[in-house]
């Protein structure tokens, strides 16, 4: 079974025969059969060469790089093997035609808000009247006529959503506003780290389909980012990232000792990252019985299913209905 692996130490990565090796600064060597690797997440400073990259490309292994502070830096993605000119043209057409783009953009936002409300309703501290501002704003999504207007509504909803976190979190994890670069408190550090993992997980699943990750609908396409992964991640951030943050803090798996304050920012330290990543792996591997496929699928595979549904939509095979958790 393929798995994700995480490298925290500084050192170098290399290939020898059909095995991946990591050698740390003390010359300790760890090996891993390449057939077990799905994605590599690199949090340390590592050296590698083109021989290794060619090897990773042959085995369709993605490598995601994070800087010293735990911020996502970029990815090495193997050469695309599932190319489809028809899908690419259709995907582009749905971006270029305003109304078609708006349909998909609204679907991502609608599903994201659904999962926000679903998560909040799980906590008895959140009385129904506290949800009214989100519910009221949510009604405006269907009325939005531009992407900018839609993004504005989504931003106001997210602001209301974050304002309710303090009802759920203990007092030592007070959260006042979203600050991304840099994160100013522990909750912002967890959100940024979790969202980066969500983006890269979605990106890896996109590459297993015929979709092009640079052509997006809610977020503006850019030559310097895989913006479709940002679109699809909107569905999964409250469903996976935020629910995981609440669970880890309320169960005291992650505490204040798992954070460092560096250069006017708060970041997860190495122990904190390890604990989050362990829980992240467990969450993505968790399975539910799919009501249409009639078999168990993992949270990770649900990300890929969204890609397949988008493909069916852009080729005019089946209208896209975003995931709305029923379990």
Binding site as annotated, residues for Mn(2+): 154, 219, 234
DSSP string across 248-316? HHHTTSS-GGGEEEETTEEEE-HHHHHHHHHHHHHHHH-EEE-TTT-SEEEHHHHHHHHHHHHHHHHTT
267: left (phi over 0), alpha (psi -120 to 50) or beta: beta
**Distance separating alpha carbons of residues 236 and 198, to the nearest angstrom:** 7
For residue 219, what are the contacts with CB-CB under 8 A and spacing of at least 6?
227, 230, 231
Strands 259-262 and 265-268: antiparallel
Contacts of 282-291 with C-beta under 8 Å, sequence gap 24+, read 283/240, 283/244, 284/201, 284/240, 288/327, 289/327, 291/326
Residue ranges of the binding site:
154, 219, 234
């Amino acid at each position: 079974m393929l798995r994700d692996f995480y490298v925290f130490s500084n050192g170098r990565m290399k290939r020898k025969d059909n095995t991946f090796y990591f050698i740390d600064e003390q010359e300790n060597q760890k090996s891993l059969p390449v057939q077990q690797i799905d994605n590599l997440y690199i949090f340390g400073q590592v050296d590698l060469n083109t021989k290794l990259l060619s090897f990773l490309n042959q085995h369709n292994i993605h490598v995601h790089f994070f800087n010293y502070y735990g911020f996502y830096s970029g990815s090495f993605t193997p050469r695309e093997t599932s190319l489809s000119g028809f899908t690419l043209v259709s995907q582009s057409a749905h971006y270029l035609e305003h109304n078609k783009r708006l349909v998909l953009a609204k679907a991502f936002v609608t599903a994201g808000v659904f999962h926000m409300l679903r998560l909040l309703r799980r906590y008895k501290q959140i009385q129904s009247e506290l949800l009214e501002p989100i519910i009221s704003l949510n009604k405006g999504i269907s009325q939005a006529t531009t992407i900018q207007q839609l993004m504005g509504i989504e931003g106001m909803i997210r602001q209301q959503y974050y304002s309710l976190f303090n009802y759920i979190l203990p007092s030592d994890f007070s959260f006042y506003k979203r600050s991304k670069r840099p994160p100013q408190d522990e909750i912002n550090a967890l959100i940024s780290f979790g969202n980066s993992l969500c983006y890269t997980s979605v990106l890896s699943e996109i590459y297993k389909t015929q979709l092009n990750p640079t052509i997006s609908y809610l977020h503006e396409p850019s030559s310097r980012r895989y913006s479709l992964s940002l679109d699809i991640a909107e569905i999964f951030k409250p469903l996976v990232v935020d629910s995981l943050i609440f669970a880890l803090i309320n169960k005291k798996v992650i505490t204040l000792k798992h954070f460092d304050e560096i250069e006017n920012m708060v970041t997860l330290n190495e122990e904190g990252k390890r604990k989050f990543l362990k829980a992240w792996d467990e969450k993505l591997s968790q399975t539910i019985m799919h009501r249409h496929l009639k078999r168990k699928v993992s949270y990770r595979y649900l990300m890929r299913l969204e890609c397949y549904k988008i493909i069916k939509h852009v080729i005019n095979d089946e209208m896209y209905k975003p995931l709305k958790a029923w379990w």
